[in-house]
Structure formats: C-alpha cells, structure tokens
Amino acid sequence: MSDGDLDVLQRALERERKARRAAEDLLEKKSQELYIANSELRAWSNRLEQLVAERTHEMEVARDQAISASQAKSQFLANMSHELRTPLNAIIGYSEILLEETSDAGHPQYHADLQRIVASGRHLLMLISDILDLSKIEAGQMAVFYEDIDISMMVHEVVETLRPVIEKNRNRIDVQAAPSLGSMRVDITKLRQSIFNLLSNAAKFTENGRITVTAQRAVGQPVDTISFAVQDSGIGIKPEHMRELFVPFKQADASTSRKYGGTGLGLALTARFCRMLGGDISVDSQIGVGSTFTLRLPAQPTDRDPESAHPSLAVAQDGEKDAAQVGTTKSSALDGRSRDREAVLVIDDDPMARDMLSRMLSSEGYEVITADDGEEALRLARDRRPLAITLDVLMPKLDGWAVLAQLQADRDLRDIPVVVVSILSERKKGAALGATAYLQKPVQREQLLGALLTQRTPSIHHVLVVEDDPDCQQLLRRMLEEHGHPSRCAKNGREALSLLAQQIPDLILLDLMMPELDGFSLLDALKADPRWRSIPVIVVTARDLSEDERRRLSQDTEQLLPKGALGRGELLMALRRLSSKRSTGGASNSDVNRRPGKA
C-alpha cells in the first residue's frame, strides 16, 4: 500500500469519524429535545390534572354554597312571613273590632270601608301563607299529618266556606258527595286547602254559570282511590296556557291577574300538596265551555318507595320531584308503622334555631323538649332521660363543650347520644369530647335525621380485644368500659380462638402483629367458621400496610383504626356506626362484615 493510498484511507476514515460524530451529536440533540418535550408533556398533563382537581373542588364548593344559599333563602322567607304576619294580625284585628263597634254604635257609613280593609288584610294574609308553604316545600320542611276524615263532611264544609264567593258571581253550586263515601286517611289541612283553591278558582272564572263538585271512590288495590272533581262552566283555559298552570307565579296571562286577582300560587301549591299526599292532579278545559280539575288521592297513605325515604339534596334543583319524595317520606314515617314518640332534647340559646330543629324533629314523630341554656339542659337531661340530645356550642353561661363534658362525666347520662349542632367547625373537638355526631349550621333536615338514626343506643354488649401489648390492651379495655361495653382480652390469635369457642362476642378489636397466631391468620380462621363469620372486626394497628393488605382488610373487616390516631372519639364513633347499622337492621352482620372499611 502506497503512502497515497494510506492517505486516502486515512481521509476516508476521518470523514467517517466526523460523520459519526455529527450523527451522534444529532442523536444527542434529538434525544435531548425528546426529553424536553417529554417533560413538558408531563408538566402539562400534571397541570391539567391539577386544573381538573381545582375545577372539581370549585364546583363542589359552589354546589354546597348553592344548597346552603337555597336553604338560607327558604329559611329567610319562612322567618319573613312570620314577621309580616304579626303586624298584619293587628291590622285585621283592629279593623274587625272597629267594624263591630261602629255597627253597634250606629255608624253604618264606615262599614264598607272597614270591610275593605278587613278583606284586603285577609287576602294579604293568604298570600303570605301561600308563600310560606311554598318555601317550606322547597326547603324540604313541609310535613304531612295523616288523620281519618269523613269525605262527604269535609267537601261540604269547604263548599260552605266558599258559598258567598261562589254566589257573588251569580253561580249555582252542585255538590255530589254522599255520606256513603265513608272516610279516608289524609292530611286534612292540605286536602281542604287544595279543594278550596280549585273551588275558589272556579268561582272566580265563572259568571252566571254552574259549578259542580264531585267526590268519588274507585275501589282498588292496594288501596282505593278517592277523586275530587271541580267542574265549572267558566271562561276555560287556552291550550298554550295549560302547561304553565302549575308553575308558581305564572298565571294564564298578565291580564288575568289584573282582572281576577290572585297570586298564581294556588294551583302550584295544590299540585305540590297532591304529590305529597301520594296523588296527582289533572285538568281538562275548553275555551268558552269550562274547566274540570280533578284530584286523585289514595284513601290510605301508601308506602310506595322506601328507598326514597331520604329527601335528597335535589331540593334546590327540582322542587317538583322533591315534593313527591318528601310526601312519601312523611307518609312512611307517620302512618301506622311509625315509631313510638321518643323525646329528643334540643339545646340552643337561639330561639330560631331551637324552633327549626324542633320542627324538623317533631315532623318526624320525635317528641321534642327544649332548653335555652346549659344548666336547664343538664336538669332536663337528668329529669327526662331523652333518647338523644342536640347541642349548640356557643351559649351564654355554660357553653356546649362544658355541657358535653358534664354529660359524659355522669354515669347515667353518658350513654345518651349527643349531636353537636354548631356554627363552629370543630368536629375533632366534638368527637374527642364524646359527641356522637357533629353538624355544622345551617343544618339540613336529612343530616339531622341521619345523625339521629345513627344514635340508637349501642347494641354492642360484649367485645373481644385481641392485642399483645399490655398497655394498649388496657387502654382499649378502659375506653370500652367507659362506654358501657364489657370486654374480654386475648393476647394472641390462639388465645382469641379459645375465647371465641366459649362465647361469641358482638365485636372484635384486633391487632395485626401478635406472636403465635397473628391478626391475618385469625381473620382467616374467623372466615372459615360459620359461627364466627359474621362477627364484625375493627382492626387496630400501628403497622404500615401494603396495598394488598389494605384491600384484604377492607373486605374482611369493618374498619381500620391506626393506633397513632386512636382516641376515645374515633373508637366511639366506630362503635356507634356499627351499632347503628345493627339496630337499624339495614344490614345483616355478614353484610356489615363485607363492607369496606371507611363505611
């Protein structure tokens, strides 16, 4: 090989080397670019996730705010209506007195004017009542009270009340409601008001005509249906207005209210009442011929759908649906199968809060006793031994925490469940002091009732504590004893099995790491034996659990309590939750057992 050849080769090699270096550089650059692009992508994706989380949170907050705003609005309306009624009361009352006294003293010239004042006052009063009713329905606070009534008598009473109005427009009234219709079980106030509304509409929109009220019974299963039809020969309703008949504040058209008066609330209320009573309303009308409105109601409250027995948060969004749901709730709560009257002690220094809580409770059939300060509350608690207590925190003299502490310190009273209802958000403090539930104001009806349902006195009598550490064992035993749950102790799985063979406990508190037979093996043994399978287990552990272990425990046990966070409050809450599940009978023990830990 000549030098020249060598040269050529060397140059070629050099070129290749250069080319390779360039390629390597390019690769490096590309991979760096890729890396950057990748991290950017990751950053974007993280950002996106964060944004989604933020938005979700914002929406949750907005939803909660909307719900409480709607509640606050309804509460405001309810209070406002009350405030309006008080001066109105005086206006109506004094004009009536004047009317009586002037006619006695012989001043007939004032008569007509005074009568106008009285009539307008009573009209205003009716509007306020309607608004109050509507706002109560929307707030989910309208209760239904069933009683047996004589159908024919009720219809005739309503007709008699309205006879002057009917005859004012020179109408003839015809009533077909025979005593043989018998009786029905219904909320008479709501039914009477519904028929009253239909009949006064008929009288208003009919002149020189005929109005017929017909009540009929249709035999059916499971219960008969009672229908009430109000037929008039009045002006009729245009088809395009039919749809809006039952919408609040919408009258057929604006000129209607000018000519005929009224708020446009009557039919909206009537429809809602009907649904609350488990029935419906229909209308049939022809312009210039007349209208017929028909109510159909069950002769007995029917227990239609126990699932809907919890009025949902849909109150604010869907008043119509909710009215129906609330109706079902009440009927199932207050018909023959209702629970006994049981007293709940409501402690609050604010009369309005007291009143609201009392109503929520009494509408569910609880007897309510109230106290406006801590000392009175403790006295009443000792005297009356209520089923449960709702407790406000911020009160003059003795505050709620002090009341709670005294209740807990009293052997006879500590088992009475206490629901703290406060404007403060001190849930932890409440639980630590022994409260069984903590609700922040404003309280929703269903929250309160839910909290009370989990308040039944514990049905857990005997507890087995399986724990090898003597200090921890002592602590658990003491906490259990304080709340009236006697316990036995085993220091490992094997000892536990021999105790289980002697007596089946209502609950097992189980440590995981123990000598001889550990917690997991004990759980296996429990599962394998039909006698033991349904005993609820609460795991108390100091150990960090793997994902797998967690999953397993959530299947086989009731709840996981980390030892570090173990306070009286947490354990007590766990016990209450458990006992409420058992006593409400909602779940059999085996169901309870399979339920995930954070029930």
Partner 1 sequence: MARILIVEDNPMNLDMLSRRLLRAGYQIVSAENGLLGVEAARREQPDLVLMDLSLPEIDGWEATRRIKADPACRHIPIVALTAHALTSDRESALAAGCSDFDTKPVEMARLLTKIKTLLTPR
Does residue 224 interact with partner 1 by CB under 8 A?
A: no
Q: Which of 71, 74, 77, 92 binds partner 1 (CB under 8 A)?
A: 92
Counted residue by residue, the chain has a size of 599
User: Measured in whole angstroms, how far is the alpha carbon of residue 72 from the centre of its chain?
Assistant: 15
Does residue 340 interact with partner 1 by CB under 8 A?
A: no
Positions in 540-559 near partner 1 (CB under 8 A): none
Q: Which of 18, 20, 82, 478 binds partner 1 (CB under 8 A)?
A: 82
Report residue 418 as tokens. 């206490």
Does residue 90 interact with partner 1 by CB under 8 A?
A: yes
Give 90's contacts (C-beta < 8 A, 6+ positions apart).
none
Q: Is the dihedral of CA 420, 425, 428, 433 positive or negative?
A: negative
Does residue 93 interact with partner 1 by CB under 8 A?
A: yes
Nearest distance, CB of residue 273 and partner 1, angstroms: 12
The residue type found at 127 is: L
The two beta strands, 437-440 and 463-466, are: unpaired
Q: Contact region for partner 1 (CB under 8 A) — 17-25, 83-91, 456-464, 572-580?
A: 83-91
The residue type found at 185 is: R
Q: Contact region for partner 1 (CB under 8 A) — 14-22, 96-104, 217-225, 440-448?
A: 96-104
Q: Contact region for partner 1 (CB under 8 A) — 209-217, 367-375, 475-483, 544-552?
A: 367-375
Q: Could you tell me if 290 and 233 are in contact, meaning their C-beta atoms sit under 8 angstroms apart?
A: yes
Does residue 322 interact with partner 1 by CB under 8 A?
A: no
- Cβ atoms within 10 Å of 287's Cβ, excluding its own: 11
Does residue 76 interact with partner 1 by CB under 8 A?
A: no
- Cβ atoms within 10 Å of 128's Cβ, excluding its own: 19
Which is nearer to partner 1, 100 or 524 (by Cβ)?
100
Distance CA 109, CA 378 (A): 61
Nearest distance, CB of residue 416 and partner 1, angstroms: 21
Which is nearer to partner 1, 175 or 343 (by Cβ)?
343
Which is nearer to partner 1, 63 or 379 (by Cβ)?
379
Nearest distance, CB of residue 162 and partner 1, angstroms: 15
Q: Which of 1, 2, 3, 86 binds partner 1 (CB under 8 A)?
A: 86
Q: Please give the DSSP secondary-structure letter assigned to residue 340.
A: P
Kindly provide the b/e burial profile for residues 333-352, where b requires at least 16 CB atoms within 10 angstroms of the residue's own CB: bbeeeeeeeebbbbbbbeee
Which is nearer to partner 1, 187 or 511 (by Cβ)?
187
Which is nearer to partner 1, 122 or 461 (by Cβ)?
122
Does residue 143 interact with partner 1 by CB under 8 A?
A: yes
Cross-strand bridge partners of residue 281: 295
Q: Could you tell me if 533 and 503 are in contact, meaning their C-beta atoms sit under 8 angstroms apart?
A: no
Helical pair 568-584 and 470-482, crossing angle rounded to 10 deg: 50
Q: Could you tell me if 92 and 337 are in contact, meaning their C-beta atoms sit under 8 angstroms apart?
A: no
Give whole-number Cα distances, 98 to 94, 109, 117, 122, 126, in Å.
6, 12, 11, 16, 22
Nearest distance, CB of residue 530 and partner 1, angstroms: 48
Q: Which of 157, 320, 335, 367 binds partner 1 (CB under 8 A)?
A: 367
Q: Could you tell me if 366 and 333 are in contact, meaning their C-beta atoms sit under 8 angstroms apart?
A: no
Nearest distance, CB of residue 110 and partner 1, angstroms: 17
Does residue 129 interact with partner 1 by CB under 8 A?
A: yes
Positions in 456-495 near partner 1 (CB under 8 A): none
Does residue 102 interact with partner 1 by CB under 8 A?
A: no
Listed residue (305, 291, 173, 170) closest to 234, CA to CA = 291
Does residue 89 interact with partner 1 by CB under 8 A?
A: yes
Q: Which of 68, 73, 79, 94 binds partner 1 (CB under 8 A)?
A: 94
Positions in 411-450 near partner 1 (CB under 8 A): none
Does residue 158 interact with partner 1 by CB under 8 A?
A: no
Q: What is the 3-state secondary structure (H, E, C) of 343-395?
A: EEEEECCCHHHHHHHHHHHHCCCEEEEEECCHHHHHHHHHHHCCCEEEECCCC
Which is nearer to partner 1, 86 or 502 (by Cβ)?
86
The residue type found at 162 is: L
Which is nearer to partner 1, 82 or 461 (by Cβ)?
82
Q: Which of 135, 201, 263, 363 binds partner 1 (CB under 8 A)?
A: 363
Q: Contact region for partner 1 (CB under 8 A) — 222-230, 361-369, 386-394, 558-566?
A: 361-369
Q: Contact region for partner 1 (CB under 8 A) — 82-90, 316-324, 392-400, 466-474?
A: 82-90
Which is nearer to partner 1, 24 or 100 (by Cβ)?
100
Which is nearer to partner 1, 79 or 457 (by Cβ)?
79
Report residue 360 as tokens. 């929520």
Q: Could you tell me if 297 and 184 are in contact, meaning their C-beta atoms sit under 8 angstroms apart?
A: yes
Q: Which of 73, 96, 320, 499 binds partner 1 (CB under 8 A)?
A: 96
Q: Could you tell me if 495 and 519 are in contact, meaning their C-beta atoms sit under 8 angstroms apart?
A: no
- Cβ atoms within 10 Å of 303's Cβ, excluding its own: 15
Helical pair 400-409 and 374-384, crossing angle rounded to 10 deg: 30
Nearest distance, CB of residue 99 and partner 1, angstroms: 10
The residue ranges that bind partner 1 (CB under 8 A) are 82, 85-86, 88-90, 92-94, 96-97, 100-101, 125, 129, 132, 143, 145, 187, 189, 341, 351, 359, 362-363, 367-368, 370
